[in-house]
Amino acid sequence: MLPDAQYANNTPLLAVRDLRTHIFTRRGVVKAVNGVSFQVRAGETLGLVGESGSGKTMTCLSILRLLPRGARIVSGEILWQGTNLAAVSAATVERVRGKQIGMVLQNALAALDPVFTIGTQVGEPLVMHQNMSWRAALRRVVELLRMVKVVAPELRVHSYPHELSGGMRQRVSSAAAIGCAPALLIADEPTTALDVTTQRQYLDLLLELQQATGMAIMFVTHDISLVGNMCDQLAVFYGGLLVEYGPRQQVLSQPSHPYTAALLQSIPQLGEPRDRLPSIAGEPPDLGRLPAGCPFHPRCDAALDGCRTGEPPPVFTLAQGRQVRCWLREHEHDRSAAGSL
């Protein structure tokens, strides 16, 4: 038996194992999440990168059990500090959601209710989850707003969302998300609706909050250049699969999946002028009509015959805990490390 401290360090906060979430529609089954495994340790930042319809948002919504109508977790486990969130009752999830796991959404204007003041909305989780009185909650809201660097927080408590700028609204919704000191913050495209300079300010704020509170962050984005200096681990999604997973620096400097490599190549980088951008032919797949085999094979330059048939490639574990779903890496598969996740 391990000593407690070491146990706490080694057990991930969140472990997702072979998660499959499908959406059942009249036109057929959409395999939005089709076998996704990853883990988040306390205080760590995981970047989830993928294009629209790659399954990254559905993965987050599955963890929080906020799936839209018709969507269902068909198999897999979501272990939150040992509890499988995929299997427990809605009431149990409610005690975790908003308290232990906070969430920031893409569109802060839509996430905030226009008819309630900032104080009411940021204070609500405190009253709900921590049995605070409204008076105490509002005092705490002022502190939270100060933490997220809202100017004149005493006055802003009484403001309505429409009175704030886009960057301020995103700060306010972050304040609501971190109010109960969650161990994990899920941020789903939190900067997409923000201006370029505001975006950078918000990312710096997130890192500062993380240092102050020690929370883990799952940062979801379609923009791989954004996660470059803030994530520890990177998870790249394509066609409902986690195609590549590993330490951020290794994934960015030596991508092992052809999709990651091609994507990184195709993005213009400031200060690296090129006459022509290498581009990825074709288009991302429709999750309702995934091709057989690897979902990336129709666009992949290196595709072999085996990539075009059967099931998607399995997860191969490489050195340094990297994982990749690509047959090209089969020979690098490290069997001894494969069981660790």
Partner 1 sequence: MTEALLEVCDLVKYFPVTRGVLRGKQIGTVKAVDGLSFTIQPGETFAIVGESGCGKTTLANLILSLMPPTRGDILLRGQPISRLSPEALMLYRKSVTAVFQDPYGALNPRMRIGDIVTEPMAIHGYPRHTRQQRLQEVLRAVGLSAESAQRFPHEFSGGQRQRIGIARALALQPPLVILDEPVSSLDVSIRSQILNLLKDLQAERGISYLLISHDLATVEHMSDWIGVMYLGKLVEIGHAKAVCSQPRHPYTATLVAAATPPGRTPPWTLPIVGEVPHGLDIPSGCAFHPRCPYAQPTCRTLTPALSTVAAQRQVACHLYTNATSADTWPPPLPPAAA
Footprint on this chain of partner 1 (rule: CB under 8 A): 51-52, 165-168, 195-201, 222-225, 228-229, 259, 262-263, 266-274, 276-281, 283-284, 299
Please work out, in degrees rounded to the nearest 5, the angle formed at the alpha carbon of residue 191 by the alpha carbons of 108 and 243: 115
Nearer to partner 1, 39 or 250 (CB): 250
Nearer to partner 1, 223 or 330 (CB): 223
**What are 227's two structure tokens?**
């996660």
DSSP states along 179-215: TT--SEEEEESTTTTS-HHHHHHHHHHHHHHHHHH--
Q: Please, which residues have CB within 8 angstroms of residue 111's CB and are 6 or more apart in sequence? A: 104, 105, 173
Give least dist CB 34 to partner 1, A. Answer: 19
Query: Is 58 in contact with 48 (CB distance < 8 Å)?
Result: no
Query: Is 219 in contact with 227 (CB distance < 8 Å)?
Result: yes
Length of the chain as a residue count:
341
* Residue 146 CB neighbour total at 10 angstroms: 15
**Rounded-to-integer distance, Cα 173 and Cα 178, Å:** 9
Give least dist CB 24 to partner 1, A. Answer: 23
Closest CA to 147 of 160, 156, 136: 156
Give least dist CB 223 to partner 1, A. Answer: 7
Give least dist CB 32 to partner 1, A. Answer: 16
Give least dist CB 259 to partner 1, A. Answer: 8
Give least dist CB 167 to partner 1, A. Answer: 5
List phi, psi (to 5°) of 108.
Answer: -65, -30
Nearer to partner 1, 38 or 202 (CB): 202
List phi, psi (to 5°) of 282.
Answer: 75, -165
Nearer to partner 1, 1 or 270 (CB): 270
Q: Please, which residues have CB within 8 angstroms of residue 135's CB and are 6 or more apart in sequence? A: none
> Which letter does DSSP use for residue 312 in this model?
P
Nearer to partner 1, 80 or 237 (CB): 237
Nearer to partner 1, 103 or 168 (CB): 168
Nearer to partner 1, 202 or 316 (CB): 202
Q: In what order do the strands lie in the sheet with 71-80?
A: 28-40, 14-25, 71-80, 83-84
**Rounded-to-integer distance, Cα 1 and Cα 76, Å:** 27
Give least dist CB 26 to partner 1, A. Answer: 17
Give least dist CB 313 to partner 1, A. Answer: 19
**Rounded-to-integer distance, Cα 72 and Cα 68, Å:** 9
